[in-house]
Amino acid sequence: MTLDDPILSHARTLTELFDARVLRSPDDTAYHRFDPTASRWVALSWREAAAAVQRWTQALAALRLPGGARVGLLLPNGVEAVWADLSTMACSCVPVPMHALDNPASIAYILGDCEAAVLMVQEVAQWEAIRAAGVALPALRCVVVVGASAIASAQGGAIPVIALGEWLAAGAQAAGLPATPPQPDDLAAVVYTSGTTGKPKGVMLTHANVVANVMAVLAHVAPGPDDVFLSFLPLSHTFERTAGYYLPIAAGSSVAHARSVALLAEDLRTVRPTVLISVPRIYERVRAQLDARLAGSRAKRWLFEAAQGVGWRRFCRRQGLATAASPWAAAELLVAPLLDALVGRPLRASFGGRLRVAVSGGAPLAPALARCFLGLGVPVLQGYGMTETAPVVAANTLEHNDPATVGIALQGVELRVGENRELQVRGPNVMKGYWKRPEDSARAFTDDGWLRTGDQASIDEGGRVRILGRIKEIIVTSTGEKIAPADLELAIAADPLFSQVFVLGENRPFIAAVAVLDRTQWQAFAQSLGVDPAQPESLNLPAVQQAALRRIAQQAAAFPRYGVPRAAWLSLEPWTVENTLMTPTLKLKRHNLMARFEQEIE
């Protein structure tokens, strides 16, 4: 697929993009959905997708919502979420995608803030939990339950609750109602930011914003009709919406929606995707599983390290990157195929065996992870973006891949480094502003119209962008020392003992860490110290804490002395989206973590 293809050159909105794709390749496979009854994946064509979207569009048009009305989408990844999104836009309404695992109070806040007229949920229990939050929702006219759950318990309230089948049937009876198509400057979504430090803000993205970004990503990564995407990141996040949902429409690629994160490994082996849109946490989990399998076998560990080292040096040579010279360079050429067969090929098979590109975004990819996967032949490309830029700003390519950077700017995107080394962005993909927050919108831009990212960066002569850290997340201790927490957390988490790490020290005399330990690693670690891993109190025995701090200090050896944590609190309870300690893209919610561990921190 090329940029001079008519399907791209004439599409000004996402609605036009989808319609053009259906016209161009109606019988090609668009989506793969898992049929639990038959226990198999079923393919849907673009023609079938269009028919489903038309049914949903008629049902939504029958509600006679005004143009620009907001429709809340609280649905898991799947074709129903796609139908809901596309039909909402076809009626010139605005999708407000929300994470299906977010807590009810947060969802209620978003629905109230955006004044949603319609809410689509998977299960009626979700609506009951939202209603129980007690937030007034005067604009909400109805709730559509997409799943098969009974809805009788939700009846009797002021807001009608309708089963999907009933809703679609009513729309079919009202066939012929016009659906006014959107214009490029109309909103394609109000996407609420993750809210790592308080209430989320609604980012207003227009059709022109998103289409511009889709076209730029298409030129950068170049997927095509033969590519298969596996979608598992929440469709409520702009990264997945653009790169894992709208991009395949433009490219004519097909998308399989993973059943769940728990079944992701099985889905990878079955679907065998060629393109994967992911976040670093997924690679961290795969690496942790590798470490667990290697534990206790020096021979397996040596083989793994040898394969990774040889592969990494070969990757660096191909990319023209500096790497330490090996005295065994000649021998490596001979043993590389054997090491790859023993270590690299099995790892790639766990991703399906035909992965052409794996994009990592949403958070920094630790250097140790990049070295591991790239060294073993998994084609990971790191990129950078934010919700406010629809979202991709820069990315590496297969031909020019430096994992220490986030690549070069996409076509049409301008970058500069401003005051305090802040990366600033200008281009057609930059948001319209924040929903109902004119002051915040004004503060987001410089006086001459560049978007402030809040990230510090450097740009080399070749245009490669290196992210240095967050401006607002710099910890300043009571002694005046400064440390970037994200970099320190990445360094500590490179030790497989530490599954998740949160460092703190703002206005305090030293840096400390709260860490979740990997359960398998904890067993061996505790036994090496002569303590019982089954006893919860063992975690914070002085001997255990001191040994953990020594491991932390080893990982933080490259940081200034004042940046090395001097105290730690250890836990085995993971931080998740469900317990509100992680964002939907698996970033730390620092405000929530501070509140959750307030007593331990003190």
Alpha carbons 333 and 373: distance in angstroms, whole number: 19
Q: Considering only CA atoms, which of 361, 344, 362, 363 is closest in space to residue 353? A: 344
Average pLDDT over residues 251-277: 95
> Does residue 198 carry a pLDDT above 70?
no
| Percent of residues in the chain assigned helix, strand, coil, to nearest 5 | 40, 20, 40
Question: Phi/psi of residue 499, each to 5°?
Answer: -75, -40
276 forms bridges with which residues in the sheet? 230, 358
Which pair of structure tokens corresponds to residue 570?
């250890």
Mean pLDDT, the chain, rounded, equals 91
Rounded to an integer, what is the distance from CA 434 to the centroid of its chain?
Answer: 21
Which has more pLDDT, 196 or 155?
Answer: 155
Which has more pLDDT, 195 or 241?
Answer: 241
Q: Please report, as a single letter, which amino acid is at residue 568.
A: A
Mind giving me the DSSP string for 184-203?
TTSEEEEEE---TTSS--EE
pLDDT digits (tens, 9 = 90+) for 32-63: 999 999 999 999 999 999 999 999 999 999 99
pLDDT digits (tens, 9 = 90+) for 66-115: 999 999 999 999 999 999 999 999 999 999 999 887 788 889 999 999 99
CB within 8 Å of 333: residues ≥ 6 apart: none
- The C-alpha torsion from 544 through 299 and 304 to 487, rounded to 10°, is 20
Q: Considering only CA atoms, which of 81, 449, 20, 378 is closest in space to residue 255? A: 81
Would strands 512-517 and 357-360 be described as parallel, antiparallel, or unpaired?
A: unpaired
pLDDT digits (tens, 9 = 90+) for 431-442: 999 999 999 999
Average pLDDT over residues 477-502: 86
pLDDT score for 578: 83
Alpha carbons 388 and 339: distance in angstroms, whole number: 43
pLDDT score for 199: 73
Measure the CA angle with vertex 229, ends 225 and 235; round to 5°: 125
Alpha carbons 511 and 567: distance in angstroms, whole number: 7
275, 223 contact by CB (below 8 A) = yes
Alpha carbons 463 and 413: distance in angstroms, whole number: 12
Number of H helices, E strands in the chain: 22, 26
pLDDT digits (tens, 9 = 90+) for 375-396: 999 999 999 999 999 999 999 9
Which pair of structure tokens corresponds to residue 89?
């836009």
Cis peptide before 391 (omega within 30 of 0): yes
Model confidence at 196, in pLDDT bands (50, 70, 90)?
very low
322-336, 392-406, 408-422: segment of lowest average pLDDT: 322-336
% of the chain residues with pLDDT over 90: 73
pLDDT digits (tens, 9 = 90+) for 302-320: 999 999 999 999 999 999 9
> Does residue 4 carry a pLDDT above 70?
no
Model confidence at 197, in pLDDT bands (50, 70, 90)?
very low
List the 187-192 sheet strands across, edge first.
Answer: 187-192, 202-206, 433-434
> Does residue 201 carry a pLDDT above 50?
yes
Model confidence at 541, in pLDDT bands (50, 70, 90)?
very high
Average pLDDT over residues 20-34: 97
Mind giving me the DSSP string for 201-225?
-EEEEEHHHHHHHHHHHHHHH---T
Model confidence at 8, in pLDDT bands (50, 70, 90)?
low
Rounded to an integer, what is the distance from CA 157 to the centroid of its chain?
Answer: 36
Residue with tokens 């005295």: 327
pLDDT score for 1: 46
Residue with tokens 């919108």: 441
pTM: 0.85
The CA-to-CA distance between both ends of the chain, in Å, stands at: 57
Cβ contacts of 298-301, under 8 Å, gap ≥ 24:
none
Rounded to an integer, what is the distance from CA 503 to the centroid of its chain?
Answer: 22
Alpha carbons 155 and 63: distance in angstroms, whole number: 19
Which helix (H) or strand (E) segment is 530 a member of? none
Domains in the chain: ranges and CATH: 6-277 (3.40.50.980), 279-458+465-470 (2.30.38.10), 475-601 (3.30.300.30)
Q: Please report, as a single letter, which amino acid is at residue 507.
A: N
R_g of the chain computed on alpha carbons: 25
- Sign for the CA dihedral angle at 196, 202, 203, 207 comes to positive
165: helix, strand or coil: helix
Helices within 361-432 (DSSP H only): 367-375
pLDDT digits (tens, 9 = 90+) for 326-368: 777 777 888 899 999 999 999 999 999 999 999 998 878 889 8
Residue with tokens 């006086």: 447
pLDDT digits (tens, 9 = 90+) for 527-538: 999 999 999 899
297-311, 467-481, 570-584: segment of lowest average pLDDT: 467-481
DSSP state of 562: G
Residue with tokens 């009933």: 166
pLDDT digits (tens, 9 = 90+) for 140-162: 999 999 997 666 555 557 899 99
Angle, helix 164-173 to helix 46-61, in steps of 10 degrees: 80
- The C-alpha torsion from 527 through 529 and 535 to 541, rounded to 10°, is -170
Alpha carbons 58 and 502: distance in angstroms, whole number: 48
Angle, helix 14-24 to helix 79-90, in steps of 10 degrees: 120
